[in-house]
Amino acid sequence: MNVYDSARMADVLAPLGYQPVDDAAAADLIILNTCHIREKAAEKVYSDLGRLQLLKASRGHAAERAGGPLVAVAGCVAQAEGEEILRRAPYVDMVFGPQTYHRLPEMVARVARGAGTALDTEFPPEPKFDSLPLPAAVGTALAGGEVPAVTAFLTVQEGCDKFCTFCVVPYTRGPEYSRSVAAVEAEARALVARGAAELTLLGQNVNAYHGQEEAGTVVGLAGLIRRLARIDGLARIRYTTSHPRDVDDALIACHRDEAKLMPFLHLPVQSGSDRILSAMNRGHDVAEYRRTIDRLRAARPDLALSTDIIVGFPGETDADFEATLDLVREVTFASAFSFKFSARPGTPAALLDAQVPEALKDERLQTLQALLRAQQESFNRGMVGRVLPVLFERAARHPGQIAGRTPYLQAVHAQAPAAWIGTVHDVRILAVGPNSLTAAPVGGAESGPLAAPERISA
Ligand code: 5AD
Ligand code: SF4
């Protein structure tokens, strides 16, 4: 979501003459868009700021020298630690949270005038989405020469009301909010018009989406996906991140019969122990998660899954951790993100006794990651020899090669025509490398001109 937010900040700033650059040293405005989810991410901000202070000192302050870099901290660290950032890094010009970046032009103007530092960590009554421009037409918000993206993110829902006891999101991103169907569709069409063939619908709790349609009726994520699936030129739809509690019948049906919806689902489970799930306030138990997976797989037998897992939640015993391993063995994931519990200020879990020692968390994480890695490798190996539809996204490093992704988000390299970029083509998977699959056009490159199947489906 921060990638999406950064792109929107670029869109907001474009009318002021700002364009993204690759090198911070060449920038007039540097925005650190930050994450507060775990301590490691949050601490990184201060080390990055230290480096920017040196850069800023070497180029002079904007208030004294036109063109000097303004430094801003955006995102959830800004939201959670606004005052603290200004105290620890007084050379920062702007601090603003994820709900106020539509006010960026005013902030920039104010600070550039020398009117002092801007701090904006409100949850404003006007939803920021109403004030954001549509994604810029081809090129304007992209760095020089960059090709518009074949895949794009689109935030449809923000915030969270679930209050898992370990999580800062409900505090930093605020309460759940769903954009209207019309607003989402307009943005989707703008993205497709500038070359996107795949959209990933984003939300902290994306399947809790409940947006108004033009007629005033409210639809869930399934209804939204069905609307977007009608857009010509849009080949693939994904969504992330979902909550197991909000996987409803309509969404399962959507996985069954909506060809543009990719058969790959990120469904965080966090733990395989009922005791821990309850302490986490997840609102479901292991049996319910299992049932949801069974129903999804019954609807879409080729569905692959990914998940998030936390090890070392306070009070997690060896038996709880074993239960997590058991669940992973049973479900089998095509990929997964796993984390050591990180005590976040202001969350209930940070105050629990029975914090798990760091060394034990490390040990559990290694054990879990070895299992998840083995599952991922086996999933990838299972692709060899198969024909898969790949959406090609860009030229690869080797001449004549292009790169794209399977329905399961696996990176693929293939010797194939550059004209395939931006479209879906069936390719045969030849081998599994450390970071990607290699593939060849179906029929082989020797069999005359490459037949380009124009099929756009999974
Ligand atoms: N400690 C460790 N991992 C966390 N996550 C969220 N909060 C914490 C925390 N305090 C993980 C969850 C979530 C993912 C985005 O980050 O697994 O699904
Ligand atoms: Fe955080 Fe997700 Fe739980 Fe919401 S549902 S509190 S975003 S982990």
pTM: predicted TM-score of the whole model, two decimal places: 0.92
Residues with CB under 6 A from ligand 1: 37-38, 166-167, 268, 270, 308, 310, 339, 341-342, 344
Token pair, residue 8, equals 């929107």
Phi, psi of 129 (to 5 degrees): -60, -30
For ligand 2, atom 3, the nearest C-alpha belongs to 164
Sign for the pseudo-dihedral over CA of 38, 316, 161, 256 = positive
Q: Of the ligands numbered here, which is closest to the C-alpha atom of 344?
A: 1
Calculate how far, in angstroms, residue 37's C-alpha sits from the geometric centre of ligand 1: 6
| Higher pLDDT, residue 68 or 350 | 350
Q: Which residue among 308, 324, 351, 372 is best mutated to probe the pocket of ligand 1, counting the most ligand atoms within 8 A of its Cβ?
A: 308
Q: How far is CA 390 from the centre of its chain?
A: 20
Q: Is 61 in the pocket of ligand 2 (CB under 6 A)?
A: no
Tens-place pLDDT, residues 255-307: 999 999 999 999 999 999 999 999 999 999 999 999 999 999 999 999 999 99
| Higher pLDDT, residue 404 or 128 | 404
Calculate how far, in angstroms, residue 272's C-alpha sits from the geometric centre of ligand 1: 15
> Do strands 437-441 and 411-415 pair parallel, antiparallel, or not at all (unpaired)?
parallel
Tens-place pLDDT, residues 188-245: 999 999 999 999 999 999 999 999 999 999 999 999 999 999 999 999 999 999 999 9
Distance CA 191, CA 214 (A): 21
Tens-place pLDDT, residues 322-346: 999 999 999 999 999 999 999 999 9
Calculate how far, in angstroms, residue 164's C-alpha sits from the geometric centre of ligand 2: 5
The mean pLDDT of 137-157, rounded to a whole number, is 69
Q: Is 160 in the pocket of ligand 2 (CB under 6 A)?
A: yes
Distance CA 302, CA 304 (A): 6
